[in-house]
């Protein structure tokens, strides 16, 4: 099977994240699951449901089957329930919206890791599986978003004091990030954390450990008994084990 070539266009804008949110035929907005509440705090509704307000920032939602699924870090938005600590970008299970989480560095989700391609590195779950063409196409956009906008607008619950959404991105700066895997990007841009040359002790020495820990084992999922590996720099390679964790385009 031929491997797709890396994207050649200049830092494209992803679909569904700029411009107006999509209204359902009934006139409201569909939310696929839990999400930050408009008045502050966390709305935990698990099932798809409707609201008369649009998502506050489409970059933090996956749009799938007409509904918006919150894919950001719930702990930045008032969620205090069970969370799992991740490090860097990773795919998102279809049931939780699909596509990719492009967050850089440590963050959390309320989803338990679902694939053996997540490995435990220090206190984090780290994706060491492949990155597909969708990821590479939009990594420059999202890495810019998560570096330049997310921290000052949303990190640490900031949104609930400012009520300001991050501005649109109409053009992604050309910063040399294109084609770089997350780990290499972090290492070459002076960003804190050194996820390459990985051992868990090296990761812990960055001082970026979150304030909570996740269990290394859980029912139905076990960390893969493989040594830590840096993200692959090769183009997407379909795994042969029936893995269906990522979906290219919506
Ligand atoms: Zn809701
Ligand atoms: Zn994530």
Ligand 1: distance of its center to the CA of 11 in Å?
Answer: 32
164 CA to middle of ligand 1, Å? 19
Would you say the pTM of this structure is higher than 0.75?
no
Evaluated on CA atoms 44, 49, 54, 59, the torsion sign reads: positive
For residue 162, report the distance from its CA to the centre of ligand 2, in Å: 24
The residues whose Cβ lies within 5 A of ligand 1, an ion, are 31, 43, 45
Q: Are strands 42-43 and 29-31 parallel, antiparallel or unpaired?
A: unpaired
Q: Which residues contact 28 (CB under 8 A, 6 or more apart)?
A: 50, 51, 52
* Nearest ligand to residue 72 Cα: 2
At residue 102, φ and ψ (nearest 5 deg) are -100, 15
Closest listed ligand to the CA of 111: 2
Which ligand has an atom closest to residue 44 CA? Answer: 1
Q: What is the pLDDT of residue 10?
A: 79
Q: Is the dihedral of CA 239, 73, 27, 169 positive or negative?
A: negative
Per-residue pLDDT of the chain (250 residues; tens, 9 = 90+): 566 666 555 789 999 999 899 999 989 999 999 999 988 999 999 999 999 999 999 999 999 999 999 999 999 999 999 999 999 999 999 999 999 999 999 999 999 999 999 999 999 999 999 999 999 999 999 999 999 999 999 999 999 999 999 999 998 887 645 444 555 444 334 333 333 333 333 333 333 333 333 333 333 333 333 333 333 333 333 333 333 444 444 4
The sign of the CA dihedral 207, 75, 142, 249 is: positive
Neighbours of ion ligand 2 (CB under 5 A): 86, 101, 103
What's the pLDDT score for residue 14? 94
Q: Are 133 and 109 a contacting pair, CB within 8 Å?
A: no
Q: How far, in Å, from the CA of 72 to the mean position of ligand 2?
A: 7
> How far is the C-alpha of 72 from the C-alpha of 110, rounded, in Å?
10
Nearest to 129 by CA among 234, 59, 205, 52: 234
**Encoding tokens for residue 124?**
């984090």
- The residues near 207 (Cβ < 8 Å, ≥ 6 apart) are none
Answer for the pair 131, 7: CB distance below 8 angstroms, yes or no: no
Residue 180 and residue 188 in contact, taking contact as beta carbons nearer than 8 Å: yes
Q: Is residue 129 within 8 Å of 239, Cβ to Cβ?
A: yes
* Å from CA of 216 to ligand 2 middle: 17
Ligand nearest to the CA of residue 103, numbered in listed order: 2
Residue 206 has which token pair? 């960055």
Is 50 in contact with 29 (CB distance < 8 Å)? yes
Predicted local confidence at residue 1, as pLDDT: 57
* C-alpha dihedral, 125 to 126 to 132 to 137, nearest 10°: 100
């Amino acid at each position: 099977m031929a491997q797709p070539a890396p994207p050649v266009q200049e830092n494209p804008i992803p679909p569904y994240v700029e411009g107006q949110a999509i209204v359902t035929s009934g006139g409201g907005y569909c939310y696929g699951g839990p999400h930050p509440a408009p008045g502050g705090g966390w709305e935990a509704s698990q099932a798809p449901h409707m609201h008369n307000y649009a998502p506050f920032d489409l970059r933090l939602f996956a749009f799938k089957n007409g509904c918006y699924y919150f894919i950001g870090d719930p702990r930045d938005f008032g969620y205090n329930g069970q969370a799992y600590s991740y490090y860097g970008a990773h795919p998102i299970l279809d049931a939780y919206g699909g596509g990719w989480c492009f967050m850089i560095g440590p963050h959390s989700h309320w989803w338990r890791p679902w694939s053996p391609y997540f490995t435990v590195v220090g206190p984090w779950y780290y994706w060491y599986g492949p990155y597909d063409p969708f990821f590479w196409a939009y990594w420059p956009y999202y890495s810019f978003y998560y570096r330049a906008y997310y921290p000052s607008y949303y990190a640490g619950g900031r949104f609930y004091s400012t009520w300001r959404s991050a501005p649109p991105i109409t053009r992604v700066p050309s910063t040399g990030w294109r084609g770089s895997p997350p780990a290499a990007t972090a290492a070459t841009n002076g960003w804190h954390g050194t996820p390459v040359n990985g051992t868990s002790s090296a990761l812990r020495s960055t001082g970026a450990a979150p304030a909570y820990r996740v269990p290394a084992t859980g029912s139905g999922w076990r960390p893969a008994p493989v040594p830590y590996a840096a993200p692959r720099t090769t183009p997407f390679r379909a795994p042969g084990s029936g893995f269906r964790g990522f979906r290219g385009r919506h």
